[in-house]
Amino acid sequence: MKLGRSSIQLLAQRVRTRFRRSASESRLFTYLAILGPGIIAANAGNDAGGIATYSSVGAAYGYTMLWTFIPMTISLIVVQEMCMRMGVVTGQGLADLIREQFGVRWTAFVMLALLVANTGVIVSEFVGIGQASELFGISRFFTIPICGAIIWALVVKGSAKGVERVFLVMSLVFFTYVISAFVSKPDWGAVATNFVRPSFSTDTGYLFTVMALIGTTIAPFMQIYVQSAAVEKSMDKTELPMARADVVIGMTFADMIAAFIVICTAATLFTHGITNIDSAATAAESLVPIAGAYAKYLFAIGLLGASMLAMAVVPLATAYSLSEALGFEKGLSRSFREAPIFLGIFTALIVIGAVVSMIPGIPPITLLLVAQCVNGVLLPILLLAIVRLINNPEIMGEYCNSLWFNVLAYSTTIIVSLLSVLLIGKTITDMF
């Protein structure tokens, strides 16, 4: 049977449409397969300590520091993209590359600092879980062991893909802060203005708070986790654009959530003169007389989910880095028999975090300050190592930084390093 010219054109059009649809679906499924490390690392950065910081910023300074989220987001994307790219191109974790390129002594120093800092962070996450549960009237002595056991079983007994899917679902809990912000009915005109119009003050507290926001947003465990997770997923160079998209989306989403926490507490606590916020739990309790118990419970759910996500990611990042530095087998797909050191480190950190956080009278704020101080020492060293590694043609070949990306990378490294040094001084002052 012969087809007319119009019939042939119609058939060709249908074929092209179906092909484009198939290509679009293929790209979507490819992205969904790659999706994970960037988003998980970014949201783990919004942990109990981060939520407390953002809450105190909104309570103390209102909307005036929202402009800092623009440079913070750019810095996060730059640093995390370099680590993601190194993981995809080299197939090695960050600790692996540091040991190979800079020697055992530097690796030992970095790993020791990382272990001390991350242990303090892990304890603070368990404290956050305890605080969140008590907001619901449940004893921390019940919640902490249960949550620790759930996370341990998920990581040790689950598959790599299963663990990642659960982490991604846990990230959805951060939308409670978006809802809280809308419930608090902020002045959206003032919000928009303060996002695009930087404001400055010579007040010492204001300057150090700006430094804390920018300088502590890039946590060392985030770089280690995103690179090791990229290696774990066995990504190849053809998947690099999708991996970059994961980083950009993850960092943007995480900073958006942080901004909504500031907006929520600025609209409620700041406008009512409540400025003394020392934890996320205190912020949640302070919301009750202003925004009602509904806002308190939303805040508590967000705190619980954030603490559980970070409680899993931080010990994982630590186990990855120490195993890489020591040359031991690692990976979520490994059993205890195949990777005893990797899973042993993860298990030990979970146990230590849970036990220490349940000691009566343990000062969580002091732990956070110590962890922040150690991270402040470690971060400049880690950032400098990342920039040097990413520009090494023997490692990266044609995937080294471009000139303009290096401008951003070195600017970020220098600024964040200076802020970290200043933060160390402020942290030591606060401790004494």
- Within-domain flag for 20: no
Query: Cα–Cα distance between 303 and 298 in angstroms, integer?
Result: 9
Band the pLDDT of 30: cuts 50, 70, 90.
Answer: very low
Residue 15: inside a domain, yes or no? no
Q: Is residue 27 part of a domain?
A: no
Please indicate, yes or no, whether the overall pTM of this predicted structure exceeds 0.75: yes
Q: Is 16 exposed, middle or buried (0-12, 13-18, 19+ CB in 10 A)?
A: exposed
> What is the per-residue pLDDT for 337?
83
Kindly give, in sequence order, each residue whose CB lies less than 8 Å from that of residue 153, ignoring residues fewer than 6 positions away.
none
- Looking at residue 366, its pLDDT comes to 60
Instruction: Report the domain count for the chain.
Output: 1
Whether 323 contacts 330, CB under 8 Å: yes
Give the residue-averaged pLDDT of 197-226: 77
1: its two tokens: 């049977």
Residue 190 confidence (pLDDT)? 93
pLDDT attached to residue 9: 53
* Helices first, then strands: H and E counts in the chain: 19, 0
**How many other CB atoms are found less than 10 A from the CB of residue 289?**
12
Label residue 13 by pLDDT band (50, 70, 90). low
pLDDT surpassing 50 at residue 353: yes
Going by pLDDT thresholds of 50, 70 and 90, the confidence category of residue 380 is confident
| pLDDT 10s digits, 228-258 | 888 888 888 888 888 888 889 988 988 999 8
CATH of the domain at 241: 1.20.1740.10
Residue 313 to residue 78: CA distance in whole angstroms? 21
SS3 366: helix
Does pLDDT of 98 surpass 70?
A: yes
Question: Residue 34 — very low, low, confident or very high, per pLDDT cuts 50/70/90?
Answer: very low
For residue 32, pLDDT over 50 is answered with no
- Round to whole Å and give the CA distance between 113 and 123: 16
Closest CA to 390 of 401, 398, 379: 401
Q: What is the mean pLDDT of residues 292-313?
A: 83
Report whether pLDDT(193) > 90: yes
Residue appearing with tokens 């600092």? 113
Q: How far apart are CA 186 and CA 263, in angstroms?
A: 7
Nearest to 348 by CA among 328, 373, 374, 322: 322
Q: For residues 49 and 424, which has the higher predicted lDDT (pLDDT)?
A: 49
Where residue 329 falls (left for φ over 0; alpha for ψ -120 to 50; beta otherwise) is beta
How far is it, in rounded angstroms, from Cα 116 to Cα 134? 28
What average pLDDT score do residues 414-432 get?
Answer: 73
Of 357 and 425, which is predicted with more confidence?
357
Tell me, what's the pLDDT at 259? 92
pLDDT confidence of residue 365: 56
Structural domain including 74 reads 33-431
For residue 184, tell me if it sits in a domain.
Answer: yes
CA atoms of 306 and 302, how far apart (whole Å): 6
Higher-confidence position of 62 and 30: 62
**CA-wise closest residue to 287 among 133, 181, 358, 428:** 181
Give the percent of the chain with pLDDT over 90.
Answer: 19
- Mean pLDDT over all residues of the chain? 81
Highest mean pLDDT among 25-34, 73-82, 107-116, 178-187: 73-82
pLDDT surpasses 50 at 199: yes
Of 20-24, 102-106, 165-169, the one with minimum mean pLDDT is: 20-24
Contact 303, 318 (CB under 8 A): no
Mean pLDDT of all residues in 165-172: 81
Computed on alpha carbons and rounded to an integer, the radius of gyration of the chain in Å comes to 23
Long-range contacts at 103-111 (CB < 8 A, ≥ 24 apart) = 106/385, 107/325, 108/325, 109/381, 110/378, 110/381, 110/382, 110/385, 111/321, 111/322, 111/325
pLDDT the model gives residue 417? 78
Q: What single-letter amino acid sits at 113? A: A
**pLDDT confidence band for 367 (50 / 70 / 90):** low
Burial 70-97 (b: 16+ CB within 10 A, else e): ebbbebbbbbbbbbbbbbbbbebbbbbb
CB of 211 within 8 A of CB of 423? yes
Residue 234, classified by CB atoms within 10 Å of its CB into exposed (0-12), middle (13-18) or buried (19+), is exposed
Residue 207 resides in a domain: yes
Q: How confident is the model over 47-58, as pLDDT tens digits?
A: 877 888 888 888
Q: Within a domain: residue 44? A: yes
* Separation CA 184–CA 166 (nearest Å): 30
- The reported pLDDT for the residue numbered 24 is 44
Which tokens is 235 given?
Answer: 């990504």
Whether residue 3 lies inside any domain: the answer is no
